[in-house]
Amino acid sequence: MENLASKLTGILLPVVTPFDQQMKLDHQAMAQNLSLWKETGISGYVMVGSTGERVHLDESEYLQLIETARAATPSELAFIAGAGQQSTVGTINEVKKAAHAGADAVLVITPYFYRTAITQETLANYYRAVADAAEVPVLLYSMPPLTGMKLEPETIAGLSQHPNIIGVKDSSNDVAGFSKTVSLCPDDFAVLTGNGTVLLEALRAGGTGAILAVGCVVPELCVEILRAFRAGEVEHAESLQAKLAPLAEAVTTRFGIGGLKAALDLTGYRGGSVRAPLRAPDAASLKEIEGLLYEAQGSAPQRRQGAK
């Protein structure tokens, strides 16, 4: 667990799931992306999470993707699987399967369907039960934009005392809440931002690292922001963050996973199709994404060596 903790101090990528034109899993594209990403300075991968369209995968596909990616991931990188069903027992079963398929840890999203019945105490009991049963370490996942459920700093702090809960991914843009979480949790508890628009602010607030969808498109830029911040190169970090934020907002909030996959295709990765009801961006949106990539990279998007 100590080795895994050190990997949570960098930039991790929540990997997309490439589908071919028949909407089937494209394992070759996944392996190619992983091969390119591992050379960019990132610290690890998060598979089959919200960015990986977990809700569009059946159980067989879920496990196949973990196994494919595990085989293509070197041991020096963290390998985390997304998990989380609406019931505690369903999540426990999924976590066990992810562990057996090769995950080093699991990122467990909050349940959300019966929202009016889910209190902070309910969430705390849920995560404790999952962590008690899990064979690998657990990271909490607070994703209010998708779930409508937020893990409050006090709830996270209480859960941070559990020996098998090692961190949290906060995908809100609530920097004040993020900062409070950092202040309430032990120093060895990983507090990671999942929002590229506030990467630098989260680092300033004491964040240990990040799990960023926009990092799939511009991993080197995200890694350089982290490096510059830690080196005290404030103006450089601020300049890079100003380039990252508009792209991050576009390929997550505005154009969603369809926009993210289009941006991957533009930069020489293989994004592939999205499963309905998600949609690919239209021509005007694609042109805007290309322009934002130009601004973020300082040049026109270029295909990477080894990309097809």
Q: What is the pLDDT of residues 39-76, one digit of tens each?
A: 999 999 999 999 999 999 999 999 999 999 999 999 99
In this prediction, residue 19 carries a pLDDT of 96
Q: How confident is the model at residue 1 (pLDDT cuts 50, 70, 90)?
A: low
Q: CA 205, CA 172: separation in Å to the nearest integer?
A: 14
| pLDDT beyond 50 at 300 | no
| pLDDT beyond 50 at 205 | yes
| pLDDT beyond 60 at 99 | yes
User: Active-site residues: which are they?
Assistant: 169
pTM of the model: 0.95
